[in-house]
Amino acid sequence: MGRQTATFLILAIYIATMVGIGIYTSRRTKSSEDFILGGRNIGSWLTAFSYGTTYFSAVVFIGYAGQFGWMYGISATWVGIGNAIVGSLIPFFLIGRRTRLMSNHLGAKTMPEFFEHRFDSKALKTASAAIVFIFLIPYTASVYNGLSRLFGMVFDLGKHGALIIIIAMAVLSAVYVTLGGYKATALNDFFQGIIMLIGIGTVVALTVQEKNGLTAAVDALNNITDENGKDLKLGSVFGPDPINLLGVVILTSLGTWGLPQMVQKFYAIKDENAIRKGAAISTLFALVVAGGSYFMGGFVRLYCTADPADGTGRAFIEKGSNNKLIYDTMVPALLDKAIPNILIGLIVVLVLSASLSTLSSLVLTSSSTLTNDLIKPHVKNFTDKKQMIVMRIFIGVFLIISVLIASHKNASISTLMSYSWGALSGAFLGPYLWGLFKKNTSRAACWASFITGVGISLTHMVLFSLNISAFDGLVDSVKEMGWKLNILSPINAGAFAMLLSIAIVPIVSSFTKAPDQKVVDNAFSSLEKAEPKPAK
């Protein structure tokens, strides 16, 4: 059986399973709360896998693993470790319980609705909902981009093949999310998470084995030099550039604390016991999936080269129109050389699982936020049934816009994700975190964080990513002054926005007025309630 035949067979089974779960859960989705949060009764295993599979997608496996593996070697594994500890373990214990209790008490189904009830401000809800819808789009586009890269390598579909794959995946993700909402997403995430664990373990083992074992592979990395013969330190523990590596860790780890599609998992979790179990499961999942992806990516230079004259048989990585390496092609090139044909189908399903699980959470978060927080308050007699119909319509609208962005040939996976996470978490992280813990957190502080997070991302995009000629002189000046910290990187800009959000909220709150005392006391009264112990 050839590579493509075996892959098509595996894909057919996979797609049938996804749609079947959607049909099964559609019969149990009776209300908008069922559609958005699964009835707030999701257990530890489903929550942990849903959290992890939403966290990691083709963006990590194809885009980030290739780019940072090329730049930092095996030290890129620190990103995966940071994702497990800072991005998975800590938020479960730090904000999981408070989020579940307070959001349930306030009747908040989305993050914008939480801002409205916690700070007594409809304007905050409207602004945050608009930010969510706008900035989840580039993240979704980056996931499609990663999928199209891998499918292009496997099937060789020609000039329009990438667009065909992007559209097909959009339709598939729309079908099962539209059918079953959050319950379909959670069940599919569990199934997809198991595939991801098996697939990542297989890929890592074969990547190292192809280069004669771990010791030989690390030695080969240590022998790689630049064009001047300088050691790149790709096999060292902290790599060639630990400062900028830290920026990647912050963006991809701390960012989960303020991302609506991640935080919303805690709205739906069943009880405190499920939070504790979910923390352990989610952390182990992240160590395997994220740690394995970045570790695998650390060896891309053994499979790829930017030198056309290289005679070692490594894949030649071309440069794009801006004369930069096309990082998104590196992991597909590694897989093409390291993975036997018979296992390519497993790898395709691995990346598809990682991506569709993320896509389903993104489109559900976006459509529910737009419907619940922007449209519902302005429409009379907006029944629960009408709300579900509108949410399903906006799932399609959201996906169409994302597909159009992803089909652009210069859309880099890491850049799209960095701007998305930087704007979203840069806007929401501080207000959400301090809003859970500090009673004096003010509306003005929320606005300050919203404006700062979105402003940094948009300003950086205009100056450094859109190639506007009017700013060429400024860009050159910045390059001369700030090259050591690589401030031109959207990754570091996003990380800076997140840290600034945490700092700016308590500062502004210290000299601005908090919401009415009754509003604050009502929100925090939910944390004082003792939960019944689960039955044995």
Report pLDDT for 78. Answer: 95
pLDDT (tens digit per residue) in 467-524:
555 555 555 555 555 444 455 678 888 889 999 999 999 999 999 999 999 999 999 9
Close Cβ partners of 434 (under 8 Å, ≥ 6 residues apart): 441, 445, 502, 505, 506, 509
Report pLDDT for 475. Answer: 53
Q: Among candidates 152, 55, 68, 69, which has minimal Cα distance to 409?
A: 152
Report pLDDT for 326. Answer: 78
Report pLDDT for 364. Answer: 73
Tell me the whole-structure pTM to 2 decimals: 0.83
CB atoms within 10 A of CB 482: 12
Residue 275: both structure tokens together: 């939070």
Low-confidence residues of the chain: pLDDT under 50: 1, 482-485, 530, 532, 535-536
Sorted by where each begins, the domain ranges of the chain are 3-410
Query: What is the 3-state secondary structure of 178-235?
Result: HHHHHHHHHHHHHHHHHHHHHHHHHHHHHHHHCCCCHHHHHHHHHCCECCCCCECCCC
Report pLDDT for 228. Answer: 74
End-to-end CA distance of the chain: 50
Report pLDDT for 76. Answer: 94
Report pLDDT for 163. Answer: 65
Report pLDDT for 30. Answer: 60
Close Cβ partners of 58 (under 8 Å, ≥ 6 residues apart): 143, 145, 146, 147, 149, 150, 351, 354, 355, 413
The CATH homologous superfamily of the domain defined by 3-410 = Sodium/glucose cotransporter (1.20.1730.10)
Report pLDDT for 445. Answer: 96
Report pLDDT for 484. Answer: 45
What's the rounded Cα separation, in Å, for the pair 423 and 459? 11
Residue 8: both structure tokens together: 């098509």
Residue 218: both structure tokens together: 């690390």
